[in-house]
Structure 1
Amino acid sequence: MEWTIGWWQVSVQRVYPTNEQLSQTYSKAAFWWHQHLRLLGYRHAYRQLWRSLKTTNALPDWEGNLAICDCGIGTAAFSLAFAQAITPQARIAGVDLSAKMLNTAHQKLTQANIHHQIFHSDVKRLPFADRSFDGVISAHMLEHLADPEQGLREIVRVLRPGAPLVLVVTQTGLLGWLIQCGWGNRCFSREQLSALMHEIGLINLQFVTFPFSIARFTSMACVAYRRL
């Protein structure tokens, strides 16, 4: 945005946190984050979301020894909900910029007896070979990227043909704006996210409504597939 005031031109441009800033911000929150998600109802909402995806046949016939990547795993709330609702035999590869978040994720997944590995890495440069995973899951990560298309293209790279991406992002609205003020993320409308998914070539996009909870008013979820 630009304004001209007399002989002066004033411009305002949105900036996003650097990787280092994101790591520092979420490392400070790592100690209380998992409990915070429980108190706000997100952990329950995540479980209900996975059950809804399963019962509506929005997912493949997932079972057994799946290879799943959780991008922006945080304290593993989304992965734990996946394991509880879909299959506890999955092998989770968790990626995050915050080492302290990864330590908590490791503790939570170990306590739940879920086979996993954690990777201190940037989603824009995932440390995996092409077509490594039966699915990628991600909750509240994409909105922190200055270039979300770049992040999604890297996610698609590691998906096997025909495999799904299950994505949760902060949605536009008053609550989304309040979250944005506190954490420096962007918010997506359904139209913006649909256009982005279409641009990178994901297909069979479906949006899924959260159960009645705060998550319904702050977040939106979708599933889309890599082409065969």
Structure 2
Amino acid sequence: MTQLDTKSLFLSNTPAMEQAIPMATRRIGSWEVRISRHPLSTTDLTRRYDAMSGRWERTARRFQLTAAYQQPLMISQIAKGLTQVGPKPRILDCGIGNGSLSIALHGILENQVDYHGIDTSADMIVQASTMMRHAGLRPQLQQADVLSLPYDDQSFDVVMAAHVLEHLSAPKRALKEMIRVLKPGGMIFVCMTRPSIFGGFVQLKWRTWAITEQQGIAWLQDCDLADIGCQPVHFTSCAGTASTAFWARRTTLPDAQ
């Protein structure tokens, strides 16, 4: 396969051309055996999250997601940057789930913020609305796909996503779509499952990527982002440090897609 063919395979969004997610590699002498799985389709992911939406609040409490996200959010200096933006900066949370990431950010901000969020699961949007309003937020939520965000270019001061990109056959394509709606100077913040014992369980169950720090940083560099940083995310219970938070700043217009 040529370099051009590989790029086409990565960017294509058709089921027949999905990039398989690597699960395991083993070398035996001169042989190298690789095991890969095709990711769940958007429709299948939506159905799964619709089915588990009623239990997701319990999952969020078990792993204390809001508290886990706050530490890397503080280290990223997103809150400090938002104080310099002006009145009521705009935040977009992609794959918002039950709103844990937005609630975590809200807990460390001093200024008022205009929260927006999308999710492919309508039932998860209901969960997010309930949880976020209980936390004092008044978000604008809608059902949508991170690969095709229903917003104009350069619409938001911060765009973020927790455990979304690793579900996709083309995570860099989704990352570039997130950057499209981010203002120059704005910050992007993403959490992704990392290689670990618990991360391996998540990978087997959900057919996700397991993203190393080097790989995540390389993705952000490929998107021409600056001030890149990362930090392990510490969850409670058996999850441990199953994820890594990455952040970066947009300084230029993204390359044409």
Report the alpha carbon displacement of residue 130 of structure 1 after superposing the two structures with TM: 0.1
**CA distance in structure 2 between the aligned counterparts of 1:205 and 1:52, rounded to whole angstroms:** 12
State yes or no: 1:61 paired with 2:99: no
**CA distance in structure 1 between the aligned counterparts of 2:225 and 2:132, rounded to whole angstroms:** 29
Match of 1:191 in 2: 214
**CA distance in structure 2 between the aligned counterparts of 1:119 and 1:112, rounded to whole angstroms:** 19
TM-score by length of 2: 0.78
Bigger CA drift: 59-68 or 108-117? 59-68
**Contact kept? 1:67, 1:92, Cα under 8 Å:** yes
Bigger CA drift: 214-223 or 63-72? 214-223
User: Matched residue of 1:70: which SS?
Assistant: strand
Among 188, 195, 198, the alignment partner of 1:175 is 198
Match of 2:127 in 1: 104
Report the alpha carbon displacement of residue 135 of structure 1 after superposing the two structures with TM: 0.5
Q: Deviations over 1:75-112 (max 9, x none)?
A: 10111111111246211111101000001101112222
Match of 1:218 in 2: 242
Write out aligned runs for 1:40-79 (5 A): 40-53=63-76, 57=77, 60-63=80-83, 64-79=87-102
Write out aligned runs for 1:73-222 (5 A): 73-87=96-110, 89-211=112-234, 213=236, 216-222=240-246
Report the alpha carbon displacement of residue 113 of structure 1 after superposing the two structures with TM: 2.6
User: Matched residue of 1:47: which SS?
Assistant: helix
**CA distance in structure 2 between the aligned counterparts of 1:39 and 1:170, rounded to whole angstroms:** 17
- Paired residues, what number? 218
**Contact kept? 1:38, 1:44, Cα under 8 Å:** no
**CA distance in structure 2 between the aligned counterparts of 1:210 and 1:151, rounded to whole angstroms:** 22
Q: Which has the higher strand share?
A: 2
**Contact kept? 2:182, 2:250, Cα under 8 Å:** yes
Match of 2:56 in 1: 33
Report the alpha carbon displacement of residue 61 of structure 1 after superposing the two structures with TM: 2.8
**CA distance in structure 1 between the aligned counterparts of 2:56 and 2:43, rounded to whole angstroms:** 19
Task: Name stretches of at least 5 consecutive residues in structure 1 with no aligned partner.
Answer: 2-9
Report the alpha carbon displacement of residue 58 of structure 1 after superposing the two structures with TM: 5.8
Q: Deviations over 1:145-178 (max 9, x none)?
A: 1100100110010000010001111001221111
How large is the Cα RMSD of the aligned pairs? 2.3
User: Matched residue of 2:54: which SS?
Assistant: helix
**CA distance in structure 2 between the aligned counterparts of 1:78 and 1:58, rounded to whole angstroms:** 13
**CA distance in structure 1 between the aligned counterparts of 2:234 and 2:199, rounded to whole angstroms:** 17
**CA distance in structure 2 between the aligned counterparts of 1:205 and 1:47, rounded to whole angstroms:** 18
User: Matched residue of 2:156: which SS?
Assistant: coil
**Contact kept? 2:66, 2:100, Cα under 8 Å:** yes
Aligned-partner residue type, residue 95 of structure 2: G
